[in-house]
Amino acid sequence: MLDNLLNIKKPYFTIVYFLALVIDLWGKLNLEIVPYRYITKSLLMILLIVFYLKNQKLNKERKHYYTLIALFLFWIASIAVINHVNNFRFIFGMLFFILGKAMYCIRFTNNRDFKLARLLPFLTGSFILMVSVFFLIYKGLGVFFIPVLIYFFISLLLSLFAYLRKNDVNAKSYNLVMLSMFFLILSEIIMGIKTYYISLPFQDISVMLFYGIGQFLIVYGILIEKKTIEEELIKIKL
């Protein structure tokens, strides 16, 4: 039963994961934080970790360990920020989110040299997005200005590394990981605006919903990753 549930070729895991996500969202709105939210939110990351371990094929390669470490760091971070009113726990959670994203950045590194002309549109769009968000929230950041700045920077850096996978991996893996970046950044933007600027409609649901979708897509995208022939030739030359 477990083999079927976690088999990447079948839809069972997707159904179970999103059912767990719906339960977590319902629990967030209707149940006490202790102990229920800690259980439902942990379940999501546990499912992703087990799913990854069951289906990954890298075995002892370094990229396997970077992914696994990232998932554990995100698990710790997601638990720490449940009670984000506590400043110490919020900073602690933010630190582990940053470390988790850094592990993903390392996971997505490759051997290719890139021309500035290819990076310029992405960097320009990222800069405009980052400046726009900070224009809205900077007055409310107070002592959190530097931590939040670093957090958004590492988020955009992760998106850059995900973007640079193009032509190095199969299209489906690339597209899923890029889509995950969209959902993760959208979740973070909503979180930043609702925490430091103004309340938004459905903010309590949308932050976790987009985060949960993003985490699922990035893991699924990594699991179906295949190197292109061109990338394999580059590795042979090196």
Question: Of 1-5, 175-179, 223-227, which gets the smallest average pLDDT?
Answer: 1-5
Residue 70 CA to residue 76 CA, distance in Å, equals 10
Q: What percentage of the chain reaches a pLDDT higher than 90?
A: 60
* 8 Å CB contact between 183 and 210: yes
**20 contacts 43 by C-beta, under 8 angstroms:** yes
Structure confidence by residue, pLDDT tens digits, 45-91:
999 999 999 888 766 688 889 999 999 999 999 999 887 667 788 88
Two tokens, residue 143: 């002592």
CA distance 225 to 231: 13
Q: Write down the mean pLDDT value for the chain.
A: 87
pLDDT tens by residue, 118-150: 778 888 888 899 889 989 999 999 888 999 999
pLDDT of residue 2: 46
64/56 Cα distance (integer angstroms)? 8
Query: How far is 193 from 127, CA to CA, in rounded Å?
Result: 17
CA 115 to the chain's CA centroid: 26
| Residue-wise pLDDT tens digits, 182-197 | 999 999 999 999 999 9
Q: Does residue 176 carry a pLDDT above 50?
A: yes
Which single residue is written with the structure tokens 């200005």? 145
Asked if residues 42 and 64 have their Cβ atoms less than 8 Å apart, the reply is no
Cα-Cα-Cα-Cα dihedral of 102, 163, 157, 60, to 10°? 10
Closest by Cα among 81, 85, 113 to 100 = 81
Grade residue 172 by pLDDT with cuts at 50, 70 and 90. Answer: very high
DSSP assignment, residue 70?
A: H
Q: What pTM value is reported for the model?
A: 0.89
